[in-house]
């Protein structure tokens, strides 16, 4: 049997196992071990399993992930997301749809120091959605604002997904992280503009807010000062060459811990919850990463990436059209699969094609994460939508309907970054 056929059969079996609700990491490992056993020997496959697991989990570059996750969990349990929302509400309360705009803006600020989409969406669902519902906002708009704002945690540095992409492709992790900043801010601005225009066009979605916030301007600034300070030290130190990516994560986690302890916002239970959540999320990411490396090696042995590259080269399509097709593939997978799983499965196949087309690997990392953002909001899976719906009690149907204009805005943001790659490559190219 041709190696390429074995690879295609392995992909089909993996998708079947996932459809049967086998955990994605387990499905990838089973296919990789069985496929490699068929091509080489069972002993070689089992030896590879042990070696890949040890080598993958002991990679120094991965140590940045638990620190970034710990930083986000500490700040979430310290209530910084709530402070960001209340502060922006103080400045935007007179604006049409100001609470929705403030929700997306606060998600952006929280993403800049947390790196977790789920943490950001969970925080805004608990803090912002009840306020919007109390002021008569449409349930769909309220839930959609919290959900779409939460996705920015995967794009704006620090981002565990960007780190994972760097590990999978061997692209410089520091450059990959910094590359997400400008596209992330641009996407946030487009989403905030969308919320404002929606309310301008359909005033019934958000009645005018006549209740002046109880927070003063000085009080609002006091609430959010940790965001620019922690971001400037952690990401600024990385950008200017003072920190390695891991040191950047350590600095951010340390500052978040000191902030929580000195302000007495972190008690023993909150600190314990932060540690437990960090361990759980990190273990999930590491297991998927190990599975992805094994599956990627299996694909390499079956020559699937090479075959795909040759097939694409033989098809007379322009590079931008090929990128568009890849986007459609990611979009379809995003509707049925977890974003981390898509990243570890697709990157070994798509990255070589992109490099052969002459595109920048760091740029593709940003575009990849932006593509995954749409999957976080796309039915029937749409992880973030389930989080928001479960925490707010708003039906999934209303959440999905409210997300439609924001989903289209995300597609526009992706198109802009594809059309203007310098948006993602400018800052990394200037790093020291």
Answer whether 305's CB lies under 8 Å from 348's CB: yes
Of 106-120, 177-191, 417-431, the poorest mean pLDDT is in 106-120
Of 98-112, 123-137, 191-205, 295-309, the poorest mean pLDDT is in 295-309
The per-residue pLDDT for 309 is: 66
Task: For residue 31, give the H/E element and its range.
Answer: helix 24-39
Answer whether 183's CB lies under 8 Å from 417's CB: yes
Chain segment 237-250, per-residue pLDDT in tens:
888 888 888 888 89
Of 50-54, 303-307, 346-350, the poorest mean pLDDT is in 303-307
Of 73-87, 299-313, 352-366, the poorest mean pLDDT is in 299-313
In the predicted structure, residue 236 carries a pLDDT above the cut 70: yes
Q: In terms of pLDDT, which residue wins out, 265 or 406?
A: 406
Q: What confidence category does residue 210 fall into, taking pLDDT thresholds of 50, 70 and 90?
A: low
Q: What confidence category does residue 209 fall into, taking pLDDT thresholds of 50, 70 and 90?
A: low
Answer whether 401's CB lies under 8 Å from 380's CB: no
Closest CA to 383 of 426, 340, 427, 430: 340
- Read off the pLDDT of each residue in 140-159 and give the average, rounded to a whole number: 85
Q: In terms of pLDDT, which residue wins out, 233 or 1?
A: 233
Neighbours of 325 (CB within 10 A): 12
What is the 8-class DSSP label of residue 301? H
Enumerate residues 6+ apart whose C-beta is below 8 A from 48. Answer: 33, 36, 294, 297
Helix axes 339-356 and 304-314, enclosed angle (nearest 10): 50
- Read off the pLDDT of each residue in 314-321 and give the average, rounded to a whole number: 74
- Read off the pLDDT of each residue in 112-121 and give the average, rounded to a whole number: 73
What is the phi-psi region of residue 207: left when phi exceeds 0, alpha when psi lies from -120 to 50, beta otherwise? Answer: beta
In the predicted structure, residue 366 carries a pLDDT above the cut 90: yes
Q: How many residues does the chain have?
A: 432
State which of 51-60, 137-146, 331-340 shows the largest mean pLDDT: 137-146
Listed in sequence order, the DSSP H helices in 40-97 are 42-57, 64-77, 80-92
Q: Is the pTM of this model over 0.85?
A: no
Chain segment 368-393, per-residue pLDDT in tens:
988 888 877 877 666 778 778 888 88
Enumerate residues 6+ apart whose C-beta is below 8 A from 374. Answer: 330, 331, 334, 407, 410, 411, 414
Residue 46: both structure tokens together:
């089992």
Query: In angstroms, how far is CA 425 from the centroid of its own chain?
Result: 19
The per-residue pLDDT for 191 is: 93
The CA distance from 166 to 69, in Å, is 16
State which of 39-48, 89-98, 143-152, 334-343 shows the largest mean pLDDT: 143-152
- Read off the pLDDT of each residue in 41-64 and give the average, rounded to a whole number: 77
The per-residue pLDDT for 182 is: 92
């Amino acid at each position: 049997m041709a190696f390429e056929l074995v690879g295609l059969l392995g992909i089909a079996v993996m998708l079947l196992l996932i459809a049967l609700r086998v955990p994605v990491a387990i499905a990838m490992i089973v296919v990789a071990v069985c496929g490699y056993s068929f091509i080489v020997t069972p002993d070689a496959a089992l030896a590879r399993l042990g070696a890949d697991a040890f080598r993958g989990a002991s990679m120094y570059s991965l140590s940045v992930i638990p620190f970034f996750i710990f930083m986000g969990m500490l700040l979430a349990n310290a209530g910084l997301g709530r402070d960001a929302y209340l502060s922006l509400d103080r400045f935007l309360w007179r604006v049409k749809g100001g609470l929705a705009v403030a929700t997306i803006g606060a998600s952006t600020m929280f993403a800049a120091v947390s790196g977790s989409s789920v943490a950001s969406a969970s925080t805004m669902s608990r803090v912002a959605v009840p306020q919007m519902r109390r002021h008569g906002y449409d349930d769909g708009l309220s839930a959609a604002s919290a959900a779409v704002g939460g996705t920015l945690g995967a794009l704006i540095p620090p981002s565990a997904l960007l780190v994972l992409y760097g590990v999978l492709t061997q692209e410089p992790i520091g450059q990959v992280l910094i590359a997400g900043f400008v596209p992330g801010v641009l996407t946030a601005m487009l989403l905030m503009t969308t919320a404002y225009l929606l309310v301008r066009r359909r005033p019934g979605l958000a009645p005018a807010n006549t209740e002046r916030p109880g927070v003063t301007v000085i009080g609002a600034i006091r609430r959010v000062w940790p965001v620019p300070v922690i971001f400037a030290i952690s990401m600024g130190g990385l950008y200017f060459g003072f920190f390695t990516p891991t040191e950047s994560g350590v600095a951010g986690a340390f500052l978040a811990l000191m902030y929580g302890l000195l302000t007495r916002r972190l008690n023993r239970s909150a600190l314990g919850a932060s540690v437990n959540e960090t361990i759980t999320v990190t273990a999930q990411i590491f297991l998927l990463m190990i599975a992805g490396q094994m599956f990627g090696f299996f694909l390499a042995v079956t020559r699937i990436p090479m075959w795909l590259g040759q097939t694409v080269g033989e098809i007379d399509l322009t590079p931008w059209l090929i990128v568009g097709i890849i986007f459609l593939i990611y979009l379809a997978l995003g509707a049925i699969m977890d974003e981390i799983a898509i990243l570890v499965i697709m990157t070994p196949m798509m990255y070589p094609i992109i490099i052969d087309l002459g595109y920048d690997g760091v740029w593709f990392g940003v575009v990849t994460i932006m593509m995954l953002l749409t999957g976080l909001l796309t039915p029937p899976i749409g992880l973030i939508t389930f989080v928001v719906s479960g925490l707010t009690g708003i039906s999934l149907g209303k959440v999905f309907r409210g997300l439609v204009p924001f989903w289209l805005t995300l597609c526009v943001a992706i198109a802009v970054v594809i059309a203007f790659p310098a948006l993602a490559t400018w800052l990394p190219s200037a790093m020291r």
